[in-house]
């Protein structure tokens, strides 16, 4: 009997340094990646990066689940469901930074590691963020505008949801650069499309119609380009100003559909994020947290600037 007790104690002592027992290690850990909206093709790349990295790790399963459309309340409900299902980790692109605080605390209280990707909730109990330096992305959009139009004029911009931390940071970065250079924001800007592509195109069209002398369109997200035919219609309706250089189109992101639009002459430049890399790194960070390891609180992925000169490389 004593030998049995000593053996059991020894086993506990050996296992103590790691939070994952050999039995747990043989089971696949389920890490969920929760986008703002599953109808946004941008997040498909984060899903693909997550799936690829999970397959490479072998003992990890990637669960991709979020609201179909951009609905912060629905996102919170999905996260609560995943907590109930006792997933082993959560990576969330937060729709509403304030609304997510309570549900992230619920997950942490349940012993579930939580990180944010793409869009942060910095006041929450999340343990890390992986994604774009969003203020720098806004600044880069501004720099690309000034590079093409050094003489200041009037611009319009567009965001997704007013409570999205990442998009507000991009707006701040954009304003920092262009307003310092003497640019003025047109009436009705920014508009908020709630990540709806069709609405995004309509809003851009309405703002340009209301401000016919506008010099630049600089959204902080690529929603309008995700409806390529409607977006082409918008550009063609302003073809004279665009082709003469009067109207600059400085657009975010580098998804395939956006690269094709740039190649075909429907934008001046793209400033792209790396959502695939975010999905990959999210799995690594959650695994490290599950093992009880320390992680960097902030991990930034880079940006890509694509023009007609290098678009062919990115399309490969």
| Residue 116 DSSP symbol | E
> What is the model's pLDDT at position 82?
98
> What is the model's pLDDT at position 16?
38
Residue pair 283/172 in contact by the 8 Å Cβ criterion: no
> What is the model's pLDDT at position 1?
41
Local confidence band at 27 (pLDDT 50, 70, 90 cut-offs): confident
For 131-148, how does the pLDDT look when each residue is reduced to its tens digit (9 = 90+)? 999 999 999 999 999 999
| 2-131+276-300 maps to CATH 3.40.50.2300 | yes
Arithmetic mean of pLDDT, 203-217: 97
Q: Is 94 exposed, middle or buried (0-12, 13-18, 19+ CB in 10 A)?
A: buried
Query: 26-35, 78-87, 119-128, 247-256: which has the minimum mean pLDDT?
Result: 26-35
Average pLDDT taken over every residue of the chain: 92
Query: 2-16, 72-86, 111-125, 143-157: which has the minimum mean pLDDT?
Result: 2-16
Strands (E) in the chain, as ranges, are 29-34, 60-64, 89-92, 114-117, 129-132, 154-156, 158-159, 184-185, 191-192, 216-217, 248-252, 269-272, 298-301, 304-306
Arithmetic mean of pLDDT, 272-280: 97
> What is the model's pLDDT at position 22?
52
Q: How far apart are CA 99 and CA 105, in angstroms?
A: 11
Arithmetic mean of pLDDT, 19-29: 62
Domain boundaries defined on the chain: 2-131+276-300, 134-274+308-315
Arithmetic mean of pLDDT, 84-106: 97
Q: How far apart are CA 80 and CA 68, in angstroms?
A: 16
Shared fold status for 2-131+276-300 and 134-274+308-315: yes
289 token code pair: 């947290």
177 token code pair: 């650069």
Q: How far apart are CA 214 and CA 241, in angstroms?
A: 9
> What is the model's pLDDT at position 25?
52
CA distances from 204 to 42, 211, 241 (A): 20, 10, 15
Q: Report the 3 state secondary structure along 233-295.
A: HHHHHCHHHHHHCCCEEEEECCCHHHHHHHHCCCCCEEEECCHHHHHHHHHHHHHHHHCCCCC
Question: What 3-state class would DSSP assign to 64?
Answer: strand
pTM of the model: 0.85
Most distant CA pair in the chain, distance = 90
Quote the CATH superfamily of domain 134-274+308-315: Response regulator (3.40.50.2300)
């Amino acid at each position: 009997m004593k030998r049995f007790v000593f053996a059991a104690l020894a086993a506990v002592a050996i296992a103590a340094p790691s939070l994952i027992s050999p039995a747990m290690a043989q089971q696949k850990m389920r890490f969920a990646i929760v986008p703002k909206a599953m109808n946004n093709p941008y997040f498909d790349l984060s899903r693909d990066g997550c799936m690829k990295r999970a397959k490479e790790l072998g003992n990890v399963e990637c669960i991709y689940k979020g609201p179909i459309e951009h609905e912060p309340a629905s996102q919170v409900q999905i996260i609560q469901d995943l907590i109930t299902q006792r997933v082993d980790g959560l990576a969330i692109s937060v729709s509403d930074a304030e609304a997510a605080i309570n549900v992230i605390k619920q997950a942490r209280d349940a012993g579930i590691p939580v990180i944010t990707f793409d869009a942060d909730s910095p006041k929450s109990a999340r343990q890390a963020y992986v994604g774009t330096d969003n203020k720098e992305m806004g600044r880069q959009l501004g720099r690309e505008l000034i590079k093409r139009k050094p003489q200041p004029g009037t611009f319009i911009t567009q965001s997704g949801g007013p409570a999205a931390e990442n998009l507000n940071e991009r707006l701040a970065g954009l304003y920092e650069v262009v307003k310092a250079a003497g640019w003025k924001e047109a009436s009705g800007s920014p508009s908020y499309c709630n990540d709806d592509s069709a609405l995004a195109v309509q809003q851009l069209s309405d703002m340009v119609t209301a401000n016919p002398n506008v010099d630049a369109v600089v959204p902080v997200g690529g929603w309008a380009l995700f409806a390529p035919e409607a977006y082409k219609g918008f550009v063609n309706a302003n073809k004279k100003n665009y082709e003469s250089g009067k109207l600059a189109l400085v657009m975010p992101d580098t998804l395939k559909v956006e690269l094709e639009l740039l190649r075909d002459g429907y934008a001046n430049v793209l400033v792209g994020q790396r959502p695939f890399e975010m999905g990959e790194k999210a799995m690594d960070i959650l695994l490290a947290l599950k093992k009880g390891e320390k992680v960097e609180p902030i991990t930034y992925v880079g940006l890509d600037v694509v023009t007609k000169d290098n678009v062919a490389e990115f399309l490969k």
